[in-house]
Amino acid sequence: LRSNYTSPPRIHVPSAISESQREADTLEVQIRELRVQLQILEERRDVVQGRCFNLKSLSAPIRRLPSDVLLEIFNHTLSYGCSNTMYEPFPVLLTHVCSYWRHLALSTPTLW
């Protein structure tokens, strides 16, 4: 009342509320759609990261060791008293590393 400003033209409050609610609803729908897209992208990222991890493991130096060298390492480990671990016998643990080590361990009678 004590200012030099004139009052703004009368706004029809119910229609302004209605318009604002429609805009909020539209934004909510867009947010839900974006969340779905985000979930899809995160799942794709996880798959790609898993593939990357598997590919990196293929180039690990341990994979380049010949089987006879690996068997020597296995046997030396047994001779140093590491044959019994807290949970499983050492040869059993070897069979859980990968299918190649499983095959080697199971086909080596000296480990058992």
Per residue of the chain (112 residues), give pLDDT as tens. 566 666 566 668 888 899 999 999 999 999 999 999 999 999 999 999 999 999 998 888 888 899 999 999 988 888 766 555 566 788 888 899 889 999 999 999 888 8
Asked whether residue 4 is domain-assigned, the answer is no
Report pLDDT digits (tens) over 79-98. 766 555 566 788 888 899 88
Considering the domain architecture, whether residues 79 and 54 belong to the same structural domain is answered as no
DSSP SS3 for 79: helix
Task: Give the separation between CA 41 and CA 88, rounded to whole angstroms.
Answer: 40
Domain that holds residue 90: 61-111
Strands (E), 4-112: none
- Write down the pTM of the prediction: 0.52
Asked whether residue 69 is domain-assigned, the answer is yes
